[in-house]
Amino acid sequence: PFMLRVSSIVVFALLMSCALPATSAAQPASDAGEFTVIPYLMGAAISGTQTIRGREVDVDLSASDIFSNLEFGAMGAFAARKGNWGFGSDAIWMALGAAGDVGPVSADVDFDQGAFAFYGLRRLSPAADVTFGLRVNYLNGKLALASPIALTVDQSQTWVDPIVGLNLRSPLDRRVFVRVYSEIGGFGLGSTFAWQIFPTVGVNLGRRSSIDLGYRWLDIDYETGEGNERFAYDTLTQGPVLGFT
């Protein structure tokens, strides 16, 4: 149904606000600066529940359903390191939309969402980093009814999640290498709780570039408001990730 599909778009927009963590090369700590740029793409399937204005719906959405509603998307990460310390950021901006008829009513639904992560990192060993920071999640939705009446409704939601993670890796100077990123966040300060597990296998294309293929599991439990103003979702998103580093 059209309204269920619209609700599924909202879930996707919120879930994709959890950004892919940036990583940097596992070389011995030195005074030389290291810089990493990662454009990436994720194909996600989503399952769980979503509550909008007190009304809960079940969501079971495939990656093909999500991409059919994608109007524009941009994803990328950056990290800088000197010695054992560094910082990074990760930005996602997506525009999703759906249009259709609900009985005699013609409707157009658009959602813009952004996720902006800022974090520090500390090298624990050549095989491990710890990350810590926060992520600002933003969502704006607009529903426009064209006929038989003209009506436009806007709603936005913004929250901040503290995040802490651990990145483990095999030596990155090999032809093929493995990384495993795990993360928890929210802690009741933003989301009630959020966790992520993200293993990848990378292939070095040269001294300065690699291509990475992985699979990510991301679970988020967020809610705010009460009664008819309650907004919540408790969902698991999972799917393959392709990145170029």
For the cut 70, the answer to whether the pLDDT of residue 63 exceeds it is: yes
d(CA 151, CA 136): 30
Report the sign of the C-alpha dihedral through residues 22, 139, 10, 192, in that order: positive
Instruction: Indicate whether 45 pLDDT > 80.
Output: no
pLDDT of residue 9: 40
- Taking a C-beta distance cutoff of 8 angstroms, is the pair 161, 116 a contact? no
Q: Tell me what pLDDT residue 19 has.
A: 38
> Among 9-23, 83-97, 107-121, 205-219, which is the least confidently predicted range?
9-23
Q: What is the mean pLDDT of the chain?
A: 78
Is the preceding omega at residue 21 within 30 degrees of 0, hence cis? Answer: no
Stated pTM of the model: 0.75
- Give the pLDDT band (50/70/90) at residue 22: very low
Mean predicted confidence (pLDDT) in 36-62? 78
- Residue of 34, 13, 14, 37 whose CA lies nearest to 25: 34
Question: Beta strands 128-147 and 105-125: pairing type?
Answer: antiparallel
pLDDT in tens, 108-156: 777 677 778 899 999 999 999 999 999 887 777 676 777 666 777 666 7
Q: Which band of pLDDT confidence, cut at 50, 70 and 90, is reported for residue 59? A: confident
Identify which has the larger pLDDT, 143 or 163. 163
